[in-house]
Every structure is written in C-alpha cells, then in structure tokens.
Chain A
Amino acid sequence: MLENLDPVLLARIQFAFTVSFHIIFPSFTIGLASWLAVLEWRWLRTGNPVYADVYQMWVKIFAVTFGMGVVSGVVLSFQFGTNWSILSDAGGNILGPLLGYEVITAFFLEASFLGVMLAGWNRVGRRLHFAATVLVAAGTLISAFWILSANSWMHTPDGFRVGGNGLIYPTNWLEIIFNPSFPYRFVHMVVAAYLTTAFTVAGIGAFYLWRGRHIPHARVMLGMAMIMAIFVAPMQLLFGDMHGLNTLEHQPAKVSAMEGLWETTTGAPLLLFGWPDQDAEVTRYALEVPKLSSLILTHDFNGEVKGLKAWRADERPPVAMVFWTFRIMVGLGLLMIATGLMAIILYFRKRLFDTRLFQYWCMALTPAGFIAVLAGWFVTEVGRQPWAVQGLLRTEDAISPVVGTSVALSLAAFVVVYVFVFGAGSYYILHLIGKGPENGEADYGGQEAAGSTEVYDAEREKGGRHV
C-alpha cells in the first residue's frame, strides 16, 4: 500500500509539517529576545525590580521555546538533502553559502550566549549578562536575515546563470543576497515576529490583570505590548502592501490566486469572501467590492489585473489555499490594528489596565500572531507552486531519489514526536505562566531561599536510582 504513495506529495507534506512546526518558535523568539533585551536595559537604567522579575519569568519561557526551535531547526538543515537532494545539487552553489553564513554569523552566536543568558545570572556581571541578551537578540535577527535571503532567492532568483549541466551558478552575490523580494520579506517577517510576541505577552498580561495577580508585572507586559500594537501593527499593513506589490511584479500568479481572480480584468473587484474552484476555473459565491483590487494593486480604479487563466493550468498555484490563508492573515492583522486603536482610547480614559472586556479581547488574541505568521507563509509558499525555485526548478523535479515508504514512515515519526514535544513544551510554558513572575526572584548575586528546594533534594536522594 505504502509503495503507491506519491513521494513528491509526501515529501511536500513532510517539509510543510516540519517547517510550519519550526516557524512557530522563531516567530516568537525573535520578538521575545529583543523584548528581553529592552526589559533588561530598562532594569539596568531604572533599577526597578519589576523589570527584572518580568525578565526572569519570560527568559524561562524563552529557554523552552528556543530549545524547541533549535531541535526542530536542526532537522530542516538536513531535510534539504534527505528530501530535496536535486534542489540541493542544482541550487547548492547559491543556497549553500547563504545557509552557511547563517550558521557562522548567527547560530554559534545565539547558542553560545544563550548559555550565559540562561545560566549566567549569578555568574557574570550585569553588563556582561545584558551583553549576552543583546547578542542573542542580534543573533535571532541575523539568522532571519540569511534564511529569508535564501528563501526569497527561491521566490525571486537573481544574480545567477544556469550552466550546461543544469546546475545554477552565482554571478553576482549582492544581487543574490538582496534579491528583489528579500528586503520586503525580511521587514514583513521580522515585524510579524515582533507582533506575535507582543500579542502573546499582551494576552498573558491581560490574564494576570483579569485574575488580579502580579499587577505591576502585568501592567509592564500589557503596556509594552500595546506600544507595539499601536505603532507597529499599522506599519505592518504598509509593509505587507509593499510586499504584495513586489509579488505582483515578480510572481503575479501568486497575487491572482490571493485575489481569486480567474479572468484578466480592468477595474478588478476585491473579493472579501468566495470559494475558488480550481477545476471549474471560477470563484464561487464571491462577495465583491467593485474596483478595489485594481485600486490596491495598480493604484488606479480601472487598472488591469491579470487573471489566473493567463497561465497554463500546470503553472498555477493551488488557489483555494492561497486565497483563504491570505484572508486569515489580513483579517488578523486588522484585528491587531483595532486592538491598538482600542488601547489608545482606553489609555486616554485611564482605563487601559482595568477594562474587563479589553482583557478578554487581548486573551482571545494571544495566538493571533502565530496563526497570522503561519497563514502568511502558506500564502507565499503555496503561492510559489508549482515551482521550488520560481521559473527554474519545479517542485516535482527537485525531490530526492527516495521511496515513498521511507518518506511516509518518517513523516509519521515526525508527527508523533512533534505532537509529543509540542504537548510537553506547551505544558511547561503554561506551567511557567501559571506560576507567573516572582517578586525578588531576580535579586542579583544573592542565593534565593533554598529551604524548599533542600527538602525536595532530600526527598529525591532516597529513591533516585533508575538502573
């Protein structure tokens, strides 16, 4: 039975699964690392212990999340070879150095100073500890730089030539690294990561306020998160729009799929909802706003927007997936902007920290960033299909010479293991959230009251043997 499975589809599902699982963690840790650096800086500047307490609580959550990000990321660096060896061979000259630079500029930096950040609170001086936090934060951004450069090159390849043997050779590294879609994707993703963190932190802060616990800490969390929602969420709309226009220029089929537009149209409507039917080549039950799509994409009410039928059927992406995930992403982005507006109003009414309804609202939006990031990546990656490297290498031609059975079994193993890991990770993160920040836990240099742990240790001494 397993022999009949299509290895291309399985390899795609496996990669989609492992990479989607992975991106959850960086999209949180990129923002969290920067926020921790800000918190520690505020603490060093003001001496206010609340900042240190909040830092201590979130650095533990950071550790768990970062650990899951590392282990799921190591998998990816091998899957290019195990599942997509033809892509690795053909594109290795370009993608290899970009990923290599990620390792030598970012991974070592993060991994080394993470140890200092987590275990060094009582071992190194304040300034060095702060430096470690800043270096880890810088590492996450540098890492995003290179991986998004490599990813963007696969969307908008530039600075290369194709050799007679079918291999791709670099001709201009600056054009490769700063390929046309890279600056947009980088800004869009980093800002998305910051917003993801902000809304997670806001949700937890709101939860404490709602429960009436850790009030001073919760105010720091919700307050700082709302600064992001007020100022950064609207900027993201602008960055997203710029990224979309860039996609229209370089990958117009993806934009047509996002719009659910089949016929090339002047004065194209914006579809709020609809059901794209790939076989019938129409979008059913469409709810349209006349001419808005042309206005957004061409900045002209009667501008021409290409429809999907302009491409051969085997060069179109799966439309429904792109269409829907795009709406999920944009919808959540709009909810984030609305949150910022509410926060402004409540702030000026001096009700930001004690409005029940707003606390529920923030708690409900805790996972908003994660869902929006995943949806956004589905738009861009599914929208690139059927290409692995746009215009150069089709996904079905990029796969390794492995049998479907191996891919199917390893996919099953990944699903089982990741569900277990994710479950355990969530359990401990929820546990840490439940515990909340502890007053004075972060007292510098002083050993905390060891009483309770001593009892615990004594208890464990009795029955510690496993073997």
Chain B
Amino acid sequence: MFSFEGFLDLPMIWYVLIGTAIFLYVLLDGFDLGVGILFLFAPTDQCRDSMMRSIAPFWDGNETWLVLGGGGLLAAFPLAYAVIMPAFYIPVILMLLGLIFRGIAFEFRFKAGRFRQVWDYSFHFGSLLAALMQGIIVGAFVQGIEVSGRSYAGGSFDWLNAYSLMTGVAVIFGYALLGATWVVMKTDGQTQQWARQSASYALCYQALFLAIVSVSMPIMNADIRELWFSLPNFFFLLPIPMISLVFLISIWRDLHAGREYRPFFLSFGLFLTGYLGIAISMWPYVVPFEITFREAAAAPSSQSLMLAGTAVLLPVILGYMGYVYYIFRGKVGRESGHEGAY
C-alpha cells in the first residue's frame, strides 16, 4: 500500500493545504460575494450590468474552492468533517441556499427581460445570506464545538449567539470591501466612483470589526490569551496586527489617491493577516477545542493518494485559472455586454 508516511508529515501538510484552500475560497468568492452584497446599492442598472459582467466568468471557479474545502476536509480529516457539518447543520444549509440564489442569478439575469429585478434581489440577498452564514460559522467555530466520542454532541442552535452574529456582520463588511475594491479595479466612470466611496465605508467597518475580534478572542479564551501575550510569542506575533494596521492605512490612502489596482490586492493582504491571526489561535485544533488535526487525520494511504494528485494538479489549476483571469483582464466595457452567451 503506497504511502508517503515514512518521510512526510502528512497531517501537517494537509492541515496547511486545507487551510490554504479555505483561505483562497474566502478571498476569491469573497470578492464576488462582496459584489453581490453591494449590488442593490449601485446607482444605476448599467452599473449593475458592469458589476455582474466583471465577475460572471469567474464566480463558478471561485466557488469551486468551497467544494475543495469541503471535499478536501472529508478526504484529509473525515472525523472533522463528520463533526463540523452536523454542528453547523442549519447555517451550512442556509449558506448553501444563499449560494443557490446568487448562483442562478448569473445565468437568469442575463436572460431575463421583465423579471430582471427578481434576479437582482436574488443575487443580492443570496450573497448576503451566504456571507452572513459563513461569518456566523467562523464565529461559532472559534468558540469551540461540543464533542462526545466521534460525534457532535451539542444542540441544533449552539452556533447562534451574539458573538457569532457579530462575526457574521463582520464578514459581510469584509466581503463588501473586497467586492468594492474589485469593482474599482474592473470598472470606470460612475460605477468606479461609487465603488470607491463604498470601499471607504466598508474599510471603516472592517477596521472596527478587526479590532473587536482581535481584542475579544484573547478575552474569551485563556489559551488564546496565553498564546498571544506570553513572552517571547508576543514579539513574534506582534507583526501580524501591525501589518494589518499598515494595510488599513494604505488602502484608505490609495482609495483617496485614485489608485485602481492596489486597494484590491491590499485588501487581500488584510484578509491574510486576519486569517493568520485566527489560524494561529486555533492551532493545533481542527475541531476547536476538542480534536487536533492529528487525531482527525485520514489514513496515511488516503492522505498520500490525495497529496500525489494535489501536488501535480494544484499548480496546473492555478495556472489555468490565472490564464482565465488574464483572458478577461482589463475594464469591463459597456460594449462587451452582448458577448457570447452573456
């Protein structure tokens, strides 16, 4: 039976890989969910057309990272998948329903005549619901999951509390920031101007929520407090909040200096530091604070088989996804609106 167990720390590699896949999902679907969140607030239908066209070729690929996150979790840490999914049964299903409403809106809106408004609402509220539920899941996740034996042992609504609602709203504003900076990059004229404004608002809220989460997590959990504030950890980890602060200020200045590309990529950076902060706090758990990634690891042979495929195919996937972004580079023009099936 083939296995890389002898010379590779498979659970560790997969912990990092799954973490990366989920992070890429958050970034990539984050900006197109963000476009959906901002959608109804756009000044004209033409703005909405441009916004939707700017993400139409990408949304499906972006959402595939979510499937990889779910499928990868099942493959690499089946026990974690088997505990987390029942624990977040209701928010996961609501998120999926949200994703359905926004996903179909892409195809339907471009074909709708009379009912276009219905798909505008479907797109907006679907994106909003998906983002809210993802944020709630994160907020509930960091508070820990009740486990007995190999199963979830909590109730149906353990995920719902003030804190998880707060993180839900935080993720909505975070995605709105990604979406707005994306629109700044991909459009011009009136749409861009409006998106710049929206990005500024979203950035302020994002800063507020980052501060709340950064302060509240160490207060809520003694281990996390110990991790971040004991010496010498404190000095090693200090750059993470510092870099966040630098990103926040730079995005603000760039937005007001008329820059088009940098705010979007700096927002990526802001998400990276935030994500790293949470990831470090959760270490080494895959089901906090009950099951570590080593306890949940799939059989070495299963992890090895997946690793072989991933090592070969992930660079290829990143390559052709990048190529598709390259094909559809540049601003979305009005005239490109009747291309092909769109």
Report the minimum CB–CB distance from A117 to chain B (whole Å): 8
Q: Are A466 and B111 in contact (CB under 8 A)?
A: no
Q: Say yes or no: is A46 at the interface (Cβ < 8 Å to chain B).
A: no
Judge whether B222 is part of the interface by a CB distance below 8 angstroms: no
**Chain A residues whose CB sits within 8 angstroms of the CB of B317 once the complex forms:** 104, 108-109, 112
**Complex: how many Å from CA A163 to CA B318?**
37
Closest Cβ of chain B to A388, distance in Å, is: 14
The answer to whether A112 touches B338, judged by C-beta atoms less than 8 angstroms apart, is: no
Quick check: is B99 within 8 A (CB to CB) of the other chain? Answer: yes
Q: Is A417 an interface residue (CB 8 A)?
A: yes
User: How far is A390 from B67 in the complex, measured between Cα atoms in Å?
Assistant: 27
Q: Is the CB of A401 within 8 A of B151?
A: yes
B266 vs chain A, min Cβ distance (A): 26
- Contact in complex: A104, B68 (CB < 8 Å): yes
Report whether A112 and B61 are in contact in the complex, using a CB–CB cutoff of 8 Å.
yes
Q: Is the CB of B90 within 8 A of A406?
A: yes
Pair B156/A403 contact, Cβ less than 8 Å: yes
Which of these, A82, A122, A453, contacts B93 with CB under 8 Å? A82
Q: CB within 8 Å of A: which of B69-94?
A: 70-72, 74-76, 78-79, 81-86, 89-90, 92-93
For A169, give the chain B residue with the smallest CB separation: B299
Q: Are A93 and B108 in contact (CB under 8 A)?
A: no
Which chain A residue has the least Cβ–Cβ distance from B312? Answer: A104
Q: B107: CB under 8 A from chain A?
A: yes
Are A64 and B75 within 8 A (Cβ)? no
Q: Does B96 contact A (CB under 8 A)?
A: yes
Q: Which residues of B contact A117 (CB under 8 A)?
A: 340-341
Chain B residues in 8 Å Cβ range of A447: 335, 338
Given contacts A88-B85, A89-B78, A93-B78, contact A111 B108 (CB under 8 A): no
Q: Please give, as numbers and ranges, the residues of chain B lying within 8 Å of A172 by CB-CB distance.
A: 1
Residue A314 at the chain B interface, CB threshold 8 Å: no
CB–CB B108/A425 < 8 A: yes
- Using Cβ atoms and an 8 Å threshold, which residues of chain A touch B313? 104-105
User: Are A173 and B75 in contact (CB-based, < 8 A)?
Assistant: no
Return the CB mask of B152-182 against A: 1 if under 8 Å, else 0.
1100100000000000000000000000000
Q: Which of A397-451 contact B (CB under 8 A)?
A: 400-403, 405-406, 410, 413-414, 417, 421, 424-425, 428, 431-432, 447-448, 450
Q: What 7 A-B pairs come out closest when comparing CB atoms?
A: A92-B78, A81-B85, A96-B75, A115-B57, A121-B340, A464-B45, A89-B82
Binding site for B on A (CB under 8 A): 56, 59-60, 62-64, 67-68, 70-75, 77-78, 80-82, 85-86, 88-89, 91-97, 99-105, 107-124, 169-173, 400-403, 405-406, 410, 413-414, 417, 421, 424-425, 428, 431-432, 447-448, 450, 453, 457, 460-461, 464-467
New A-B contacts (6) at CB < 8 Å, excluding given A107-B67, A406-B89, A414-B93 = A105-B309, A108-B68, A110-B60, A457-B334, A464-B48, A466-B40
